Every structure is written in structure tokens, then in C-alpha cells.
Amino acid sequence: MELPSFIEYDEETDYRNHYHRVYCRGSIRTYDGIEVRFRTRQFDHCFFESRGRDRVKDEFSLQRARRIDWIKAALRDPDAELYEGWDRDRRRSDPGRRVAILVGEFVVIIALKSERTADFVTAYVAQPAPPGRLSTIQKIRRGKKWQKENR
């Protein structure tokens, strides 16, 4: 699959407007027919990162924002790797969340509301792990493959 080009804007506001225009004004259908809805409030969760790695999203991420159009590409790609999400609080897989990996390191997560609808949760470029630890991608790939019948 050919990836969309990076989107280059001067200001965070321009990326926010792009997200609203492309994603929030409608929905995106996945390659297998799930209608994914995007909420305005998800912009901050998706395009900000935690400087202190303390779950406080306090820094705009140009690395994520430049890949804004990759979200749509990942959802529509029939060759994306699909896995069940992970419930951090319960420490187990969650078949109600679907994780798509596009071109090795780009991750998109949706939360299924029904068999045919979902809400966008987040997207990010998975970072390599420090020595001796598993990377995010390795952890995802150790999980269960996502299948509709598991829902």
C-alpha cells in the first residue's frame, strides 16, 4: 500500500481544522464496512504526547500530526494487521477494541459500539523500547488477532 504524504502545516490549529474537516464532519468506513465516528475531543488524545510519560498529554506531537491522513489509510487497508485491544485496568485483551498496524509502526485504535459502528480512540507511531524491554508493537503482536466472531 502506498502511504499518504505527510501533511505539513505551520500551526497546531491547522491540524485541528484538518482533523475536523476530514474526520469529524462525517465518518470513515473501514475496509470491512465498520463506520468509524470521530469526535472533536479525540484530537488532543491523539495528537498530544506526555513529556513526562505520566499520561498527562501536554505536548503537541508533530510526528503524529504529520501522519494525520494515515488514520484513514490504516482503517481502509485490508492488509493492515488487526489485533484485539488491551484493557490496561483489567490487564487483559479487549475484543471490543480493534488495533490496526499500518506499515510496521503506525497504530490506529477504534472502540466498537456495535457490529457495524465504532468510535475512533487514538493513533500513534509506536516507539522502540529501551534495551531489555518489549516495544509497543511487540506487545501488540503478542496479543490475540482481532476477529469479528470474538466480539
Mean pLDDT of the chain: 90
Chain position carrying cell 505520566: 54
Residue 4 φ/ψ, nearest 5 degrees: -65, 155
Q: Which of 107, 130, 133, 131 is nearest to 120 (CA)?
A: 107
Is pLDDT above 70 for 55? Answer: no
pLDDT of residue 83: 94
Task: Measure the N-to-C terminal CA separation of the chain; round to a whole number of Å.
Answer: 28
pLDDT of residue 121: 95
Is pLDDT above 70 for 52? Answer: no
pLDDT of residue 131: 87
Banded pLDDT at 135 (limits 50, 70, 90): confident
Instruction: Please enumerate in sequence order all residues whose Cβ is within 8 A of that of 75, keeping only pairs 6 or more positions apart, or say none.
Output: 28, 29, 30, 31, 36, 100, 108, 110
Alpha-carbon Rg for the chain in angstroms: 15
Virtual torsion, Cα 7, 123, 77, 38, nearest 10 deg: -90
Is pLDDT above 60 for 151? Answer: no
Is pLDDT above 90 for 39? Answer: yes
Is pLDDT above 60 for 138? Answer: yes
Is pLDDT above 90 for 58? Answer: no
pLDDT of residue 43: 96
Summarize pLDDT for 61-106 with one digit per residue, the tens. 999 999 999 999 999 999 999 999 988 888 888 989 999 998 768 9
Lowest mean pLDDT among 17-21, 75-79, 138-142, 144-148: 144-148
pLDDT of residue 16: 97
Return the amino acid letter for 55: R
Characterize 40-72 residue by residue with b for buried, 16 or more Cβ atoms within 10 angstroms of its Cβ, and e for exposed: eebbeebbbbeeeeeeeeeeebeebbbbbbbbb
